[in-house]
Structure 1
Amino acid sequence: MECSAPAPAPSPSPPSSGNDNGSEEQVMSEIHLGCPPRFSGSYISTFTVSLPQDVARSPHDRGWGNDASESLILGLDEDGDLLLPRRTRNVEPSCDRYCVRIQHNITSSIPNVGLQVWRAELVLSDFILHKALCSSEFDGVIALELGAGTGLVGLLLARMAKTVFLTDHGNDILDNCAKNVELNIGSLNCQATINVRQLDWFNDWPPKARIGESPSTQRYSWTSREIDNAENASFLVAADVIYSDDLTDAFFSTLERLMSRGSAKVLYMALEKRYNFSLSDLDVVANGYSHFRSYIKDEDEIKSLKSDTMTNFVGKWMDFSQIPQYVREYERGDDVEIWQIKYSGPVSKNWS
């Protein structure tokens, strides 16, 4: 990761977006630990996306492939290593490697952790890049990122999607996210219309729509048409939005209202399990992760349940251990998980 202008360095801690209430304690993502110390403010880092040489393909179809219906079938060899099909033609070097420029902070207060880059954000980027390379799943879709922070994941989706909503809460985070759109919209060959929009999980969905032209003070507000488009999104993505129980509750409340309206949606969610010593348990536990899991039932668990058991969210743990690392400037570690989550509760158009 190349740093264009660095900042100071207190202690590492948890991330993502939520309300503006909270302590001014400064936290720092481990992604920034290699940057020079004793600087302040935001800076621009360059993240390199390198496509596997054996599967790099033409940038003219889906950004990756030769046929819109083409998808790669990947297998494992006897040692469990990923088998990648060999490239059958010459490809322009530029499509094998490209860069994403992200403006972000090294440190922030807890309510503003969306100003930083977090490990789960990069893991989810790898996951999205791999699915885009191996299928047409994201082609021409409407997608929405919850707690977008720097907007990195949504920007990568914008290479394939038709419309992308980058949502978060607070003008500082939204201004920074909009800056990252500006930095990359040309160089990333984005196909999508990208909208940076305010979304406070502690308020009900849908957000209040603006009427007529929006003044500058409402530049991140929604139009009625945009709300309709968001409700008809096919895919939602979220990275590192779980770190406090009240925020998790608000997240799933918003998720329920959003996923129960309009078209069927799939959420791809990456989160890092953070462990702390608990006096009540006298053990090292990941309470935030446990609270997250209380909202979902995994597919295997559902199969063993009685038919009358109700659950609003069904999750599937995604094994990404065989997915190549496309974003070069980080170490994945062992504590990040990716979940595919679907809504299985009642569908309603008239929330009170």
Structure 2
Amino acid sequence: MDDLTFRSDLVLSDVHLHTPRQRHLMVRLNAVGQPVFLSQFKLLLDKSHLSSENKERDFKKENVRHQNKCLDGLNAERSTGKEGSPREETAALLDEDGDLEVVRKPQLLDAEAENCSRDKVCPIILTRGGNVLEEEEEQGNGCSDLVKIEHTMATPLEDVGKQVWRGAFLLADYILGKPDLFKDRAVLELGGGVGLVSILAAKAAQSVYCTDVGEDLLDMCERNIALNKQCTGPAGRKVKVRVLDWLKDEFCMDPDARHSWSEKEIAELYDLTTVILAADVFYDDDLTDAFFRTLYRITHNLKNPCTVYLSIEKRFNFTLRHMDVACEAYSHFQETLNDLVNIKDGKMTYTVESLPLSFPQHILYERVEELELWKITADVASERSRPPETERRQEELCTE
């Protein structure tokens, strides 16, 4: 099985769709039969002295080098074979019956591929037998500048959390570029997906709760944490994977359910958390509403003020309602964000600001202009910020 054929009703992340000559290692099938791939992402740290052009060139060289190293270690054959060039492979061939076969999509040379970063390609699937997690642990994973992530590709909309998205890279870049903001903090990630952001947050944070829904997804997240012990500590002790359903008002505390919460963990969450993260989870209006309800509920119960960092990518589509290209999911996100700021309940205040994307890029991805990063500060309402009805009620209580 050399080529991937995707159905039109599947969703494919741009991280994989626009990666020239990228080859993905398929390591297993997950619980629902979807192919699971292993990708390596090189982190370029301490490069502040380089110009932006040199950084981008460095990104490409480092990623190509590590990708080739991974493939060589797996004894994978190069797409050009031992002899000949990609151009020679485009020559006409005869099949067993003598019919002429034409290769319609010749592969690009490395130099050409480097200049066509937006080309759409079909990745080659490479398989490896055995338990990939055990093999990785035997080989050791001590490279602090390399992150390994198991993920799927081309999933239905309900499984997009199993993919890697540019919004996660953007938020991870911010964390890597400003580690002091997360140093020794207790962090909660909502909609953590495959765990990329939580894993990199653990490089600075004291502890991280990575939350999402779906046993299959949470199992994949746990495997990624185990694959990146250089970030998460032995046995992933810094990162705990827990289920958190935004459509439910209570934490799952079923002792028979995997990834459920204990009373102690919930108490720790409320007593210690000062940072909340969410990367590219605003693609469905109902889920966006559920997210902000969950955020409101959690921040109301936190013992300390909290800072929330949200990444989002605006995705434009033609809609019949507008008869024009629109970004309805982003518009709904903006409306719900404004509703949060305008809440006047006398308990909490929320302030919002859009963060400039001027921080350095530590991961190779396309930081498109549609990407945005938002900061929400949640704090206990002061006396002045309380609404008049709350103040009147307090005066009545004092009089009584």
> Normalised by the size of structure 1, how large is the TM-score?
0.70
Superposed displacement of residue 121, structure 1: 0.5
% identity of equivalent residues: 34
1:267 equivalent in structure 2: 308
2:113 equivalent in structure 1: none
Matched, 1:10 2:49: no
RMSD after superposition: 3.7
Find the aligned partners of 2:207 and 2:163 in 1 and give their Cα distance. Answer: 24
Matched, 1:102 2:102: no
Find the aligned partners of 1:7 and 1:50 in 2 and give their Cα distance. Answer: 31
Q: What are the residue-to-residue correspondences of 1:150-165 with 2, within 5 Å? A: 150-165=194-209
Superposed displacement of residue 295, structure 1: 2.0
2:363 equivalent in structure 1: 327
Q: What are the residue-to-residue correspondences of 1:183-332 with 2, within 5 Å? A: 183-186=227-230, 193-204=238-249, 206-210=250-254, 214-215=255-256, 218-232=257-271, 233-262=273-302, 263-297=304-338, 313-320=350-357, 322-328=358-364, 330-332=365-367
**Range moving further from structure 2, 270-279 or 311-320:** 311-320
Superposed displacement of residue 9, structure 1: 5.0
Superposed displacement of residue 193, structure 1: 2.2
Superposed displacement of residue 296, structure 1: 2.3
> 1:308 and 1:164, CA in 2 relative to 1: closer, same or farther beyond 3 A?
closer
Superposed displacement of residue 170, structure 1: 0.3
Preserved CA contact (<8 Å) 1:6 1:43: no
Preserved CA contact (<8 Å) 2:200 2:231: no
Partner of residue 372 from structure 2, selected from 324, 337, 349: 337
Find the aligned partners of 2:276 and 2:4 in 1 and give their Cα distance. Answer: 33
Preserved CA contact (<8 Å) 2:306 2:379: no
1:64 equivalent in structure 2: none
> 1:256 and 1:186, CA in 2 relative to 1: closer, same or farther beyond 3 A?
same
2:14 equivalent in structure 1: 30
Preserved CA contact (<8 Å) 1:316 1:340: yes
Preserved CA contact (<8 Å) 1:161 1:192: no
Write the deviation string for residues 257-277 of structure 1: whole angstroms up to 9, x where unpaired.
Answer: 001112221110101011112
Find the aligned partners of 1:164 and 1:345 in 2 and give their Cα distance. Answer: 23
Greater share of residues in helix = 2
1:159 match: secondary structure: coil
1:294 match: secondary structure: helix
**AA partner of residue 225 (structure 1):** K
Preserved CA contact (<8 Å) 1:276 1:284: yes
Superposed displacement of residue 36, structure 1: 4.7
**Range moving further from structure 2, 240-249 or 39-48:** 39-48
Superposed displacement of residue 189, structure 1: 5.2
Superposed displacement of residue 250, structure 1: 0.6
Preserved CA contact (<8 Å) 2:232 2:239: no
**AA partner of residue 248 (structure 2):** N
Q: Which of the two has higher C-alpha Rg?
A: 2
Find the aligned partners of 2:35 and 2:356 in 1 and give their Cα distance. Answer: 37
Write the deviation string for residues 31-52 of structure 1: whole angstroms up to 9, x where unpaired.
Answer: 1123459976011100000013
Superposed displacement of residue 345, structure 1: 7.9
Unaligned runs of 5+ in 2: 27-33, 52-141, 383-400
Preserved CA contact (<8 Å) 1:6 1:37: no
Write the deviation string for residues 197-255 of structure 1: whole angstroms up to 9, x where unpaired.
Answer: 00110001x40434xxx44xx22000111111222310000101001111111111101
Find the aligned partners of 1:188 and 1:6 in 2 and give their Cα distance. Answer: 34
Superposed displacement of residue 314, structure 1: 2.7
> 1:115 and 1:9, CA in 2 relative to 1: closer, same or farther beyond 3 A?
farther
Find the aligned partners of 2:252 and 2:276 in 1 and give their Cα distance. Answer: 20
Superposed displacement of residue 55, structure 1: 6.8
> 1:200 and 1:52, CA in 2 relative to 1: closer, same or farther beyond 3 A?
same
> 1:231 and 1:308, CA in 2 relative to 1: closer, same or farther beyond 3 A?
closer
Preserved CA contact (<8 Å) 2:305 2:380: no
Preserved CA contact (<8 Å) 2:355 2:375: yes
**AA partner of residue 338 (structure 1):** L
**AA partner of residue 47 (structure 2):** Q
1:45 equivalent in structure 2: 39
